[in-house]
């Protein structure tokens, strides 16, 4: 697979399937790709070759910056995300450098974004699974959720819904995260970092 400028992009929202997880901090990746699907007028459907839901479409302005994208939500639970993502990457012939993982990040303050290419998994089970399956050379859109308060365990914190205070900013944060993904795909990492890294 060559890193072809015309190759499609695979934008993966990381999260857990099922209504009981829908509003969890761990599911912000799902929230972002849901909004991107809405923007391109697509509805998620079951993927043929992977345990995932997908939407195919185009992102960005009309013209040379317009990109073919596959939006995906693995339906395998967070810690097994790598299998479905790798299957989709292979099926759609996406170079690894055109894979974008949108995920929650504990070490960044709430409603703060950071974009990068490659790197470690920082203890994130979804990234750990993806990296084990296909290497680390994919893009990450890291959506800050902050650290758990007091002595709360990390697992309890990420599997809780956003607080009422956080929810006041959540729509704005999801919208900004979707903008950052769009900028990354259509204008490149450096431009997206300078516009959205905070």
Q: Give the 3-state DSSP-derived string for 103-160, with helices as H, strands as E and coil as C.
A: EEECCCCCCCEEEEECCCCCCCHHHHHHHHHHCCCCEEEEEECCCCCCCCCHHHHHCC
Classify 102 as helix, strand or coil.
strand
Are 36 and 114 in contact by the 8 Å Cβ rule? The answer is no
- Is 124 known to be catalytic? no
Give the Cα separation of 4 and 198 in Å (integer): 30
- DSSP-derived pairing of the beta strands 9-13 and 67-74: parallel
* Residue 142 Cα distances to 11, 106, 108, 125, 159, angstroms: 13, 9, 8, 14, 17
Q: Which one is catalytic: 26, 98, 124, 139?
A: 26
Residues carrying an active site annotation: 26
């Amino acid at each position: 697979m060559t890193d072809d400028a015309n190759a499609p992009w695979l934008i993966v929202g990381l999260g857990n399937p099922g209504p009981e997880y829908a509003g969890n901090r761990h599911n912000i990746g799902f929230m972002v790709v849901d909004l991107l699907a809405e923007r391109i007028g697509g509805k998620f459907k079951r993927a043929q070759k992977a345990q995932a839901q997908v939407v195919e479409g185009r992102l960005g302005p009309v013209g040379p910056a317009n990109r073919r994208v596959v939006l995906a939500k693995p339906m395998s639970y967070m810690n097994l995300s790598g299998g479905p993502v790798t299957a989709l990457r292979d099926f759609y012939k996406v170079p690894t450098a055109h894979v974008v993982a949108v995920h929650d990040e504990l070490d960044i303050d709430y409603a703060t974004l950071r974009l990068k290419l490659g790197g470690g998994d920082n203890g994130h089970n979804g990234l750990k699974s993806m990296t084990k399956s296909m290497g680390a050379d994919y893009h990450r859109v890291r959506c800050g959720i902050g650290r758990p308060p007091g002595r709360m365990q990390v697992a309890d914190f990420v599997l809780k819904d956003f607080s009422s205070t956080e929810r006041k900013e959540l729509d704005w944060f999801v919208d900004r995260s979707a903008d950052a993904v769009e900028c990354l795909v259509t204008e490149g990492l450096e431009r997206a970092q300078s516009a959205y890294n905070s």
